[in-house]
Amino acid sequence: MALTKLTFDNRFINTLPSDKQEENNQRQVHHAAFSLVSPTKVSNPQLIAVSEDLALMLGFTKEDIKSEQFSQTFSGNTLMDGMQSYAMCYGGHQFGHWAGQLGDGRAINLGEVVTNNNGHQTLQLKGAGPTPYSRTADGLAVLRSSIREFLCSEAMFHLGISTTRALSLSLTGEQVMRDMFYDGHNKNEPGAVVCRVSKSFMRFGSFQLPAQRGDIELLKAMAEHSISSDFPHLLGDTKVFNKQVYLNWFSAICQSTCEMIVNWQRVGFVHGVMNTDNMSILGETIDYGPYGWIDNFDLNWTPNTTDANGKRYRFGAQAEIGQWNLFQLANAIFPLISDAKPLEELLNGYARKYQTLWHEMMLSKIGLRKSELSNKSNGSSPDADDEKLLLELEEILSLIDTDMTIFYRQLAKLPMISASAKQEQWMAIFADCYYQIEQANEQYRQKMSDWLTCYINRFEQDEITFQQHVLLMNQTNPKYVLRNYLAQQAIELAEQGDFTEITRLQALLKYPYQEQIGFEQYANKRPSWAENKAGCSMLSCSS
């Protein structure tokens, strides 16, 4: 059965300059946005997971998903009519250092589908074989990292966080050699391919590389393509690219990046490798490598073994790194603007905007609205009082091992009773969120009691019912997230040929804010066996 015919409009390769060499060998590519390259054919493709709602949005039918051709296409063995496969050229800063040319080393774009209601959507295979940008790597991916990418992409989407999507997950039938922790222990692992989807896979590094090379013509072409394709409203009726259009474009990127990172903090997601080549120009979460979810609240935690010493990409530093990365992008596009002052103003505006959005987000997490009341007794502003309340809470959560996700869901169960209620009543509500409840000594209990007293007093100032308060909290704080140990359990079963846990997690994570009868165990805190287990606590960039 032939797949439903889709309409492809491959604007990226039709608009931008191509690599003149046709050979698929690792090299430096100049004056080009991409190289034409074909996916590596695989021996025995097996489709093991698919996002049906995404497939339908793209224009496929349920019958298409079940077909052999769907499996062959999204493992890289065949191309549909209208597809033209290519790898993108870009550079980037990695762990704060300029790394030069990077590019799609194991990702191959298949083409841009024109959808009925969601515009152009680029289909990209990850793990589809070598490209000119693979350097010394093989361009392949293994099952464990592919499962993590597939599940987390879809989990983030249903959490309401800007992200690339994952259409399909396929085994290739090949074995791929990997050293999981770069410690000399190589082993064969099952190979896999994920098809991921986005309006654009352009990154900060897409503009950094031509700027670093002094290729202003290519830099300008890349910026004009990005604006025309994904920010057309910035051009207005004149369709003229000028300084103000470029500034408005950069402002939009600052805004979407800021919103994305605030949402990461809201749900406890740590990207793990916020290099500039892993930063989407659309402000989407992209490149799910050594990411992790906060179990016990810890602003210094990073899931990335490569980052274990410096902790550059730790949970509490993500906003700062976002601004640092935006500064690198500003440097790259400076030749288009030739005026540092407005770029500096936009970068400073990012910091102010982040603080505003973080403040509003945190108030929502504890079920409060922004205060318009003044505090005449001490002369402080309502925002300052609320900021103190929020920062004190994060300090208390850090004192002992407190499960972040469970704490905020339990906080919604706290009856807004008198502030004079006994300490035992409050502690009983939070007992499930402590990893070692014996850590909750008298000093801790007093701090928590004092904070809860202030919290209840603040709630009483809000013109909001208790039911509205609970609804706001439970719409802000997920009950279910893709905890690291849950993903690892699905991986270990899949490596034995059992894919049922992938399907179960996929279904569960579609409704992360809802109570789901029969799935309560998936909301439990991390079990003790997972605290230091590989894949549950720390991960490497290995795939």
Give the catalytic positions in this structure. Answer: 277
Return d(Cα 479, Cα 307) in angstroms, integer. Answer: 29
Tell me whether residue 259 is exposed, middle or buried, using C-beta atoms within 10 angstroms of its C-beta: 0 to 12, 13 to 18, 19 or more.
Answer: middle
Return d(Cα 67, Cα 78) in angstroms, integer. Answer: 13
Rounded to 10 deg, the angle between the 204-212 and 216-230 helix axes is: 160
Residue 522 phi/psi, 5-degree rounding, is -75, -10
Return d(Cα 94, Cα 195) in angstroms, integer. Answer: 25
Dmax of the chain from CA atoms? Answer: 76
CB 302 within 8 A of CB 291: no
Cβ-Cβ contacts under 8 Å for 502 (sequence gap 6 or more): 48, 49, 147, 150, 151, 169, 490, 494
The token pair at 326 is: 């935006």
Residue type, 497: G
DSSP string, 58-118: HT--HHHHHSHHHHHHTTTS---TT---EEE--EEEETTEEEEE---SSEEEEEEEE-SSS
Residue type, 531: E
- Name the 3-class secondary structure at 468: helix
Unique residue bearing structure tokens 């994570």: 509
Return d(Cα 57, Cα 51) in angstroms, integer. Answer: 10
Residue type, 430: F
Return d(Cα 370, Cα 7) in angstroms, integer. Answer: 47
CB 192 within 8 A of CB 143: yes
Return d(Cα 493, Cα 516) in angstroms, integer. Answer: 23
How many helices (H) and strands (E) are present in the chain, helices listed first?
Answer: 17, 12
